[in-house]
């Protein structure tokens, strides 16, 4: 039986990844064929900027951060 989170404020890593992927997918516009390599570079830069702005709007609770354990 799968456990569910008792409080709605908690988010699992999988839920966070799903939200991020859905947000990123929604932020992407259909690509138009650029005429030059410089146009292709600028289109990629604009797409990255739109995706970054959209992801910046997502609130990530500290509990969803992965736990890192560094060993020497």
Q: Whole-prediction pTM value? A: 0.41
Q: What pLDDT shows up at residue 48? A: 94
In the chain, % helix, strand, coil (3-state, to 5) comes to: 55, 0, 45
**What span, in angstroms and rounded, lies between the C-alpha atoms of 16 and 10?**
10
Q: What pLDDT shows up at residue 71? A: 72
Q: Is the pLDDT of residue 2 over 60?
A: no
Q: What pLDDT shows up at residue 49? A: 94
């Amino acid at each position: 039986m799968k456990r569910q989170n008792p409080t709605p404020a908690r988010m699992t890593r999988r839920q966070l990844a799903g939200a991020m992927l859905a947000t990123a997918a929604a932020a992407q516009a259909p690509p138009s064929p650029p005429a030059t390599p410089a146009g292709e570079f600028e289109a990629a830069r604009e797409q990255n900027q739109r995706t970054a702005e959209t992801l910046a709007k997502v609130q990530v609770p500290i509990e969803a951060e992965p736990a890192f354990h560094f060993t020497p």
